[in-house]
Amino acid sequence: MLTLADVFEALTGIRRESASQNFCEAVIDSRQAKAGSLFVALPGERVDGHLFVGDALRNGSTAALIDRDLPGEQMADLPVLDLRPGALVEDDAIHAEKFCIRVENSLTALQTVAGFYRRKMPARVIGITGSVGKSTTKELTSEVLAEKYRTLKNVGNLNNEIGLPLTLLNLRPEHERAVLEMGFYVPGEIEFLCSLAQPAVGVITNIGTVHAERAGSQEMIARGKAELVQSLPADGVAILNYDDPWVRPMAEKTQARVFYYGLDPAADLWADEVESQGLEGIRFQLHSGSETFHLHIPLIGQHSVHTALRAASVGLAEGLSWGQIIEGLRRPHAQLRLVTVRAKNGALILDDSYNASPESTMAAMNLLRELDGHRVLVLGDMLELGPYERQGHEMVGARAAEVADRLIAVGERARMIARSAMQAGMPAEKISWVADVPDALALLTAELTEQDLVLVKGSHGLRMDRIVAALGGTE
């Protein structure tokens, strides 16, 4: 586990073996602090972590990483270990029960320490990126690899310049594999994350329009995602989606061995005869060379076959037997972020409210189409689409007209979904537009029956999860 001596060496180039304190983990939320943790004080969008150093230390943290003076007289006597260039290190601070570590920039220091620590750990890293399906691929890949290896993965969505370093600091010598989701907002970000994590295997799911507002065009998004395969070593493996015209050409950008997956027989690992079993999962045939396997796995929706292909591809790259791969794919708790919730009145809610892009919304609607019942779509704004905003919302609206019996569009941008659905032939009386979540909830509360199947989806900023919580009685 991380030691204070590691922090010394990472930030100063000098190792102080007398700095023997161990840190069980690093946290950025004082409420998550526990005995032996290192609290990293980061300035946030709304609050500054330096305001909560005292809380973190009281909750058990041994030390706090800071880059400015602490507010409040109550911190005046706290020993400070100053690791800024040219600073004099006081031994008293090293051996204090509770202390602060002063650096020039706490985020940069966190990243530097995480990169240093990762290089000491033996785990082979699998990096995963793409526009849609990263988290599900991470979860299922971890299940597969766990059949043979001690495996670490990102928790939740800790996939950015803060979350990934925090995950790296959870590595232990006994970990043999680490499955790390890598998020992307701007060019250069994945390259930087790779410099910390040093992946040997890279998986690209697909290239969509999510984050186009910040990243630019779809071409720029593809370039950003390709940074993963460009960062792989010559003895690594790039696992690419053969079915995605933006991903397939990435083979030319990597020195690693390329392994294709998809629904095309030209791929190295491919699937056909995909059949949805509704909420019971999917059936399909898996083909690898001359071998064919008939599988039934607990992932929902035909689009989930690509998730299974990615996880199986990593399993093959990492030396698992087909028996181990299939056992990992069949684990019942390896599931999509989408979950089902029974409303108080008996309606079945498909909760996919965490986030939304045109691609993920189309996939979720295709799942709804596979189920029997009176289909209700509750679709919110899709944010950060940039120049694809109109095109994305209109595409979703046109598909909604083909899939749903009832549409409730939530938010200003969702007006485009409603308008497009009407233009595609959905009766006007079956379409409602509302400004916000409370208005949507009022409509649903008045209308829902036990025969309804309700898909709830929208960008995280709209907090569409409040609809699910209210209807399910978990508020």
pLDDT in tens, 222-280: 888 999 999 999 999 999 999 999 999 999 999 999 999 999 999 999 999 998 887 77
At residue 319, does pLDDT exceed 80? yes
Q: What is the mean pLDDT of residues 352-356?
A: 80
* Cα–Cα distance, 416 to 419 (Å, whole number): 5
Q: What is the mean pLDDT of residues 447-467?
A: 89
* Cα–Cα distance, 271 to 296 (Å, whole number): 12
What pLDDT score was predicted for residue 26? Answer: 95
pTM: 0.78
| Range with lowest mean pLDDT among 66-80, 146-160, 243-257, 298-312 | 66-80
Task: Give the start-end residues of each E strand in 245-290.
Answer: 257-262, 269-276, 282-288
* Cα–Cα distance, 328 to 190 (Å, whole number): 28
For 48, list phi and psi in degrees, rounded to 5: -105, 125
- Helix and strand counts by DSSP (H, E) for the chain: 16, 22
What pLDDT score was predicted for residue 74? Answer: 54
- Mean per-residue pLDDT over the chain, rounded: 89
Position 211 confidence tier, pLDDT thresholds 50, 70, 90: very low
Sheet with 63-66, strands from edge to edge, namely: 26-27, 38-40, 63-66, 99-102, 80-82
| Range with lowest mean pLDDT among 110-124, 203-217, 385-399 | 203-217
**CB-based contacts of 398: which residues, under 8 Å, 6+ apart?**
420, 421, 423, 424
What pLDDT score was predicted for residue 219? Answer: 82
What pLDDT score was predicted for residue 86? Answer: 76
